[in-house]
Structures are given as C-alpha cells and as structure tokens.
Amino acid sequence: NAGVMQNPRHLVRRRGQEARLRCSPMKGHSHVYWYRQLPEEGLKFMVYLQKENIIDESGMPKERFSAEFPKEGPSILRIQQVVRGDSAAYFCASSPGQSGNTIYFGEGSWLTVV
Amino acid sequence: AQTVTQSQPEMSVQEAETVTLSCTYDTSESDYYLFWYKQPPSRQMILVIRQEAYKQQNATENRFSVNFQKAAKSFSLKISDSQLGDAAMYFCAYRTLYSGGGADGLTFGKGTHLIIQP
C-alpha cells in the first residue's frame, strides 16, 4: 500500500514564477492536508481538503496561494508569483476521514525561490 | 484554539540511555488525540506514537512510551535504550476529536532536536 506521494521532491523557481506541488493521498484516504515548514520551525497547517471541497483554509496566505483536490487526480498546492519567503518544505498528509484518525505524511516538497 | 509547547529546543543523550522529551498543550476540549512525530535528517515526518485522551493507559510502541497526564495537559515521550537512529527532530502534535467546521488538522509544537552521543 503506497504511502502519501508528493512530487516534485525539490523545485527551484525564480521570483515571480509559479510553483505547483502535487500530492496523491494514501489509497482509501479522502482527506488531504497541506502543511508548510519554514527553516528551523515546526509544521504549520495551511489547508484541509476533501474531494472537490476546501474544508478549512484558515492557514493559507490570503494572496497567491490556492489549493484544490479534484474528483480525479492529485491534490495541487499552487503558489503564484513566488517570493523568497515562500522557500520552505511543503508537506502533504492524508487520513481516511473522521477526526482522530492518524494523519500520514508524505516526504515533502522543497521549494527554493532564487 | 489549541496550542502545543515543547520547551526543550535540544536534548542530548548517550547511546543506550533513556531520555524524556517534554510536551504541554492547552485546550478546552475533553476528548482529543495526541501524537509524537519524528523528523530525521531525511525530513520525512514519521509517526512515532499516538494517544487517545479518553484512554488512561499510556501508549507504548517498543522502546517508545508516553507519560500522559491529562489534568496537567502534559504528554512526554520517553525513549529507552537510545539508538543512533533515534537522532532526529521530535514534534508533539494535537488533533481535535470533533470533525466539521475546520480546524481538523494537527497543531504542532516547535520541536525538540534529539542528539544521540555514541
């Protein structure tokens, strides 16, 4: 049973470009979460999605960031017009649903903005 | 909103010894879940152990065990017989029991960097 799959693992973007990070949840998991980890810090919640629905985006920056989890295909975290401060590790996680179930993490995508 | 505090930025232990990592949290909820995750140099987040707040018995996974003090809102992780492979950042995390209305993810502490001395 494959785990949470994220790609790309490493992404380099110039300032002003767009970054797209993809996440395929574990088989059978319908809930996806995105977290951001800045250097030397813990993970900060960004957004929680179920298929075709954003449930909680309270951790998402108001501008330039968006997320989706379509009916078919992976979840996408999109960052438009990237700036140096967006450089971070972005972790996707999934769970089968129902609060309390363990959340399993992918290996992360490292975004570097140059 | 819930908060999780890890007061030890760094801990060091001799190989084969026992070490305890501290975690406290703040919540108004009576039922919830607590987790410890390990992040080795590879940066992957690995689940170490999980505790349901309604269970009085402390969770144990091989060399890892917790001391869950609900009244004190304390959730420490004990690692016995420390091994070099235990070297990592350790994050304590809280998850609400009640779904719906958002805030369904994990709230993390800032982490404790565990160093294993050979």
Written as six digits, the tokens of A52 are 């075709």
Answer whether residue B105 shows pLDDT above 80: no
CB contact under 8 A, A48 and B96: no
Residue B4 to residue B33: CA distance in whole angstroms: 12
Instruction: Please check whether residue B34 is in contact with residue B50, taking contact to mean a CB–CB distance below 8 angstroms.
Output: yes
Cβ neighbourhood burial of B94 (10 Å; 0-12, 13-18, 19+): buried
In sequence order, what are the residues at sequence separation of 6 or more whose Cβ sits closer than 8 angstroms to the Cβ of residue B5? B23, B24, B25, B26, B109
The whole-number pLDDT of residue B101 equals 44
CB contact under 8 A, B42 and A107: yes
Closest CB to B110: pick one of A42, A93, A103.
Answer: A42
Residue B42 contacts A where some CB pair is shorter than 8 Å:
yes
B chain contacts of residue A105, beta-carbon cutoff 8 Å:
37, 44-46
Quick: pLDDT tens for B28-51: 888 888 999 999 988 888 999 999
